[in-house]
Structure 1
Amino acid sequence: MLAIIALILFKQPDIKSFILIATTGIGMLFISGVPFKYILGVGLGAVFLLGALIFFTPYLQERVKTFIDPSADPRGSSYQIQQSLIALGSGKIFGRGFGQSIQKFSYLPEPQGDSIFAVLGEEFGFVGAFGTIFLYLLFALRGFRIANNSPDAFSRLLVSGIVILIIAQSFMHIASITGVFPLTGVPLPFMSLGGTSLMVYLTAIGMVLHISKFSIRK
């Protein structure tokens, strides 16, 4: 089922969703105990499809070039990453203060969505940015612990899939804003503006919490 969804997203092309679904699917295969050779085959297939999509899609090629050299076109394709890095750098250790961001006013594209981590880093500094990453890591640790103690295989895979999806999207957003990964435009879960996204993730968290009520201590 995940493979079908991934292929549909590939056909769109919706590259960010394709990467998220592929990452989640591969993670669930690993957790379910599928032999490594099959997981490797799926992973290589996903990488091949991604490479083919980039090769035949000019705007994706532009994003890869921007990732390799962020200073190449500061007023064009590199604009967002340049402004994001300026915002993060100007936040220094403790930030400018809540609501005191300058970059979010007419500089950062989508400051309430695609660039929210840059605004967070500018207003709360390194401490706030590191604290946010730490909270996501804490969520992952707690989520996988719930998955490990789940009463059955279905619950374990469901919780694991939810955790992998949220963490993958979180770190894809953070990595894009910091220049570690090409820009994807994915929102930051629980922080970026978006009612539908928030509703979906809160529903998913509700499912995880419900399963945690039936945890079996090991």
Structure 2
Amino acid sequence: GTALAIGGTVFILFFAAGAKISHLGGLGAVGVVGIIAAILYEPYRMRRLLAFSDPWSDPLNSGYHIIQSLYAIGSGGLFGVGLGRSREKFLYLPEPHTDFIFAILAEELGFIGTATVLILFFLFAWRGLRVAIAAPDIYGSLLAAGLTTMIILQALMNIAVVTASMPVTGIPLPFISFGGSALIFTMAGVGVVLNISRYVSMK
């Protein structure tokens, strides 16, 4: 998961720096081939991929994780079961406080809560990219774009995994998942973006 987030950030930075679309397309094709080769090389990666495509084919083993995540999301409904009242976090859903915290959030706060989180990430991306576009120099622009992209890609990948939109990868949800080291580096990145924004006229 981290490798994909870093690769996606580098791809966006190349685009922001003015790389040609044809070059990026070739780079993306090489990346896709590399991912396919990596999946085929290790049998457990293939099992993860198959579990993602049909988790109910092995509900007690490879598909268990994602099935419990979907149960948590479905149980939340529109308004959720109430803050702190999740049932899935009690020995049903593995890693409910880190990689799968979004599923617990959906169960406890429902669609309203998850939509609010998505809107907040969208606003963060919008403001971060506005800072990058209006930065007074190339270095500041690329730095703001890279930091914003890295945080948003992690969030999108985490949410995609939890909602069974992509195979399971171990990546936390920025600002929300338990873990001090991840929060420190995320907040440090936000601090750098805020520092760049001091030299930008934001209207």
TM-score calculated relative to the size of structure 2: 0.98
Contact 1:148 1:156 in 2 (8 A): yes
Match for residue 180 of structure 2?
195
Match of 2:51 among 53, 66, 70: 66
Contact 1:151 1:216 in 2 (8 A): no
The 2-side partners of 1:90 and 1:131 are apart by: 18
Match of 2:134 among 149, 154, 157: 149
Aligned-partner residue type, residue 18 of structure 1 = A
- The answer to whether structure 1 residue 82 and structure 2 residue 67 are counterparts is yes
**1:52-83 CA distances to partner (integer Å, 9 max, x unpaired)?**
00011111101110111121111100111000
The 2-side partners of 1:213 and 1:166 are apart by: 20
Unaligned runs of 5+ in 2: none
Deviation at 1:169, TM superposition (A): 0.6
Match of 2:159 among 174, 178, 185: 174
The 2-side partners of 1:47 and 1:186 are apart by: 20
TM-score calculated relative to the size of structure 1: 0.91
Aligned-partner residue type, residue 155 of structure 1 = G
Match for residue 29 of structure 1?
14
Deviation at 1:217, TM superposition (A): 5.9
Match for residue 213 of structure 1?
198
Aligned-partner residue type, residue 109 of structure 1 = P
Moved over 4 A (4+): none
Identity %: 42
Unaligned runs of 5+ in 1: 1-15
Match of 2:113 among 128, 142, 148: 128
- The answer to whether structure 1 residue 101 and structure 2 residue 72 are counterparts is no
**1:9-36 CA distances to partner (integer Å, 9 max, x unpaired)?**
xxxxxxx122111100000001111111
Deviation at 1:168, TM superposition (A): 0.7
**1:165-193 CA distances to partner (integer Å, 9 max, x unpaired)?**
11111010001010111111211001001
Match for residue 111 of structure 1?
96
RMSD over aligned CA atoms reads 1.1
Deviation at 1:216, TM superposition (A): 4.5
**1:142-171 CA distances to partner (integer Å, 9 max, x unpaired)?**
110111110101111001001111111101
- The answer to whether structure 1 residue 56 and structure 2 residue 30 are counterparts is no
